[in-house]
Amino acid sequence: MPIRRLPTLLVNQIAAGEVIERPASVVKELVENSLDAGARRIDIAVEDGGRQLIRISDDGAGIPAEELPLALAPHATSKLESPEQLEQIATLGFRGEALASIASISRLRITSRATVRGIVAEAGAVMEAGGDQVGAVQPVAAAPGSLVEVRDLFFNTPARRKFMRAAPTEFGHIAELVSRIAMVRPDVGFSLSHNDRLTLEVAPTESRRQRCVEVLGQELDEALLEFEDHHGDMLGSDVQTGYRLWGLAGRPEIARATAKFQYVCINGRPIRDRQISHAIREAYRGLVPPDQQPVAVVFIDMPFEAVDVNVHPAKAEVRFRDTGRVHGMVLASLRQRLLGADLTPKAGFPQGGLTLGSSGMAAAANHGGTGDTASAPAANLSAASFVDYFRRMDPTQKGFVYQQVKEALAQDDPTAATNDTASGVAASLPLTQPSGNVPPALQAQGVLQVHQSYLVTQDEAGILIIDQHALHERVMFEELRSRILGAGRLESQRMLMPAVLNLSPARLAMLEQLGPLLEKLGIEVEPMGPRSAGIHAFPTFLFDRRVEPVQFMEDLLDRTQEGDFDHVTAAAGNKSDGPQQAQAAQESALHEVLDMMACKAAVKAGDHMSAEELASLLKQRDEIERSSNCPHGRPTTIRLSLRELEKQFKRT
């Protein structure tokens, strides 16, 4: 076949193939056009999931009658003039392709009445196009602004039409998209209706938080922690030279089974980004279980030239000039907010079971329309699961270890003998609080150990029920962590004979990578050949807990190899990613290792604890970070508020 120029229709349809995947893509392009036109109100109506009709009207600047044909022509835009402008795009659109693409695969009608330099055109104009048919511009009575109607999407592209899903699914995508856009633009009013049924209506507001809550569900309000941060120089308000972050961090108990409830937006553009998702997960590490995803809103405003938006046809992804910086900022801001908050979940009693954060879950599930409740079981403390807990308890494990662990850990602590509770690090070490020296406040407050598994105590707001194992695990974790990050090294015991670890070459290499970290933990491992290594020394406190070194090391390698660690190491090797990724990889490995140690050494359910030990554990609860959750992200504590009790006892 000789080389030929493609006919315009085909060019447009190829372009449409990249951008218009489904009805929601049409809605996205049209709403973006309305926003670029400065609209204050955008009304979206769809029929049959958008398959029959998508209708979007706005009160923006409109299109002058004589420009209407150009608006529908390919590669025609009012938003870009010179190549330099491509470097700093401030509008949502710039490719000049959307209307031409949509017209090539549907029946499109645009009605518009323009406002040019404050003067509203006398009349509106209307124009239709569809496939290779283009109509003439006609005068028409119209309100200022634009109305775009798209009928019979994919009427001439059967392959695409076949791929459209049932109307509710397609509408689901549209609703999701409109929600995301509405969250980012609180200054604009939106309405969305499906088959004449109104599903979303929000009025303009100055409060970003209010808009987000309106969209996500009022029930989630209490569970969202707001944060705001800026990095770099902020020169004036018109020139954006630094980075501004704003967001909402969902409390751990509203975490979900999927990342669908993470909203990321750069310079007013909702996007998805692997690095930012990673930073979000990283910030919640140890606060939500690994199989759950936090709810989070992260909006970043940055200089236009710091982000390239011209990398994805549908503009759903962007490329940052400094990915590492963005990752680091998101991680730092979120983490700071979470560490500064009391994350103890509130317990309520809806029909029978004792559950956590139930209203928030319901809201999120309703919003998603999928009714997914996968995150509920982890937080569910029904009577049945209490019973289950006791069944699973190891009856042979009665020997008490709390004190023993404390002592073993403190033996090599240089600060223990002299330093009281002065520094934060020292404060989290158990032996800085000599046993028996219980603060009077705590003695008065009292604590009860229930079924040798739970501690019951009180604070100003109500009753606290604490899982002794989970809390001790967190305490040990933070303690080990501050020791490792400081100059210290854990006391270890030399083995009479090295224990032999059989390994694949890949694991041996990984072991070497972990070498410096292991050394600090008091684990000495030396390669003994191409496929084995010898364990020469092992931490004393793990010995005391009868933890088997070979088994421990195998578990440890399994866990550092799995999941995140690999992914992050790969990212760290990628040149375009910064040192933040390498650091995240180390953090991730450290977390796994400490987590295992803490879990093995911590008091178990069924271990009796003396009054001093209870008091000392509770004291540490107040002193350490992230005490609300164990290192796996499960709660350590639940709170029954006085209000809830009054309600249950019908005292109000």
Binding site for ligand ADP (CB under 6 A): 29, 33-34, 37, 58, 60-63, 71, 77-79, 93-100, 146
From the list Mg ion, ligand ADP, none, partner contacted by residue 61 (C-beta under 5 to 8 A by kind): ligand ADP
Identify the sign of the CA torsion 148, 152, 158, 162: positive
Quick one: 72 or 264, whose CB is closer to Mg ion? 72
Q: How far is the CB of 91 from Mg ion (least distance, A)?
A: 8
Q: How far is the CB of 117 from ligand ADP (least distance, A)?
A: 15
Dihedrals φ, ψ of 566, to 5°? -60, -50
User: What angle separates helix 579-601 from helix 468-485, to the nearest 10 degrees?
Assistant: 130
User: What angle separates helix 208-216 from helix 167-184, to the nearest 10 degrees?
Assistant: 160
Q: Angle 415-420-424 (CA atoms, 0-180°, nearest 5)?
A: 75
SS3 content of the chain, % helix, strand, coil (to 5): 40, 20, 35
Helix (H, G, I), strand (E, B) or coil at 79: coil
Quick one: 184 or 523, whose CB is closer to ligand ADP? 184
From the list Mg ion, ligand ADP, none, partner contacted by residue 37 (C-beta under 5 to 8 A by kind): ligand ADP
Residue nearest to ligand ADP (CB): 93
Q: How far is the CB of 98 from Mg ion (least distance, A)?
A: 4
Q: How far is the CB of 371 from ligand ADP (least distance, A)?
A: 36
Quick one: 76 or 547, whose CB is closer to Mg ion? 76
Quick one: 98 or 100, whose CB is closer to Mg ion? 98
Q: How far is the CB of 480 from ligand ADP (least distance, A)?
A: 54
Note whether 60 binds Mg ion by CB under 5 A.
Answer: no
Q: How many CB atoms lie within 10 A of CB 523?
A: 24
Note whether 98 binds Mg ion by CB under 5 A.
Answer: yes
Only one of the segments 32-40, 240-248, 550-558, 588-596 lies at the binding site for Mg ion (rule: CB under 5 A); that segment is: 32-40
Quick one: 96 or 515, whose CB is closer to ligand ADP? 96
Quick one: 97 or 282, whose CB is closer to ligand ADP? 97
Q: E-strand spans in 152-294?
A: 189-194, 197-202, 224-231, 243-250, 262-266, 269-271
Q: How far is the CB of 29 from Mg ion (least distance, A)?
A: 5
DSSP for residue 278: H
Q: How far is the CB of 339 from Mg ion (least distance, A)?
A: 42
From the list ligand ADP, Mg ion, none, partner contacted by residue 537 (C-beta under 5 to 8 A by kind): none
Q: Which stretches of 438-563 are DSSP H helices?
A: 440-445, 468-485, 505-520, 540-544, 549-561
Quick one: 136 or 497, whose CB is closer to ligand ADP? 136
Quick one: 99 or 129, whose CB is closer to ligand ADP? 99
Q: What is the largest CA-CA distance in the chain?
A: 96
**Type of residue found at 496:** L
Note whether 175 binds Mg ion by CB under 5 A.
Answer: no
From the list ligand ADP, Mg ion, none, partner contacted by residue 336 (C-beta under 5 to 8 A by kind): none
Q: Single out the residue of 89, 34, 43, 92 nearest to residue 63, CA to CA.
A: 34
Quick one: 20 or 476, whose CB is closer to ligand ADP? 20
Quick one: 56 or 361, whose CB is closer to ligand ADP? 56
From the list Mg ion, ligand ADP, none, partner contacted by residue 357 (C-beta under 5 to 8 A by kind): none
Q: Angle 273-361-290 (CA atoms, 0-180°, nearest 5)?
A: 50
Quick one: 35 or 429, whose CB is closer to ligand ADP? 35
Q: Single out the residue of 630, 246, 195, 615 nearest to residue 433, CA to CA.
A: 615
Note whether 93 binds Mg ion by CB under 5 A.
Answer: yes
Q: How far is the CB of 510 from ligand ADP (least distance, A)?
A: 48
Q: How far is the CB of 624 from ligand ADP (least distance, A)?
A: 52
Q: How far is the CB of 196 from ligand ADP (least distance, A)?
A: 22
Q: Record the tokens describing residue 576, joined without a space.
A: 């375009």
Q: Angle 52-57-60 (CA atoms, 0-180°, nearest 5)?
A: 150
Number of helices (H), then strands (E), belonging to the chain: the values are 23, 27
DSSP for residue 211: H
Q: How far is the CB of 487 from ligand ADP (least distance, A)?
A: 57
Quick one: 31 or 590, whose CB is closer to Mg ion? 31
Is-contact 49 176, C-beta < 8 A?
no
From the list Mg ion, ligand ADP, none, partner contacted by residue 628 (C-beta under 5 to 8 A by kind): none
Sheet strands side by side (includes 524-529): 492-502, 532-539, 524-529
From the list Mg ion, ligand ADP, none, partner contacted by residue 449 (C-beta under 5 to 8 A by kind): none
Is-contact 146 34, C-beta < 8 A?
yes
Q: Find the binder of Mg ion among 33, 57, 616, 620 (CB under 5 A).
A: 33
DSSP for residue 603: P
Q: How far is the CB of 123 from Mg ion (least distance, A)?
A: 24
Question: How do beta strands 307-308 and 296-301 pair?
Answer: unpaired
**Contact footprint for Mg ion (CB under 5 A):** 33, 93, 98
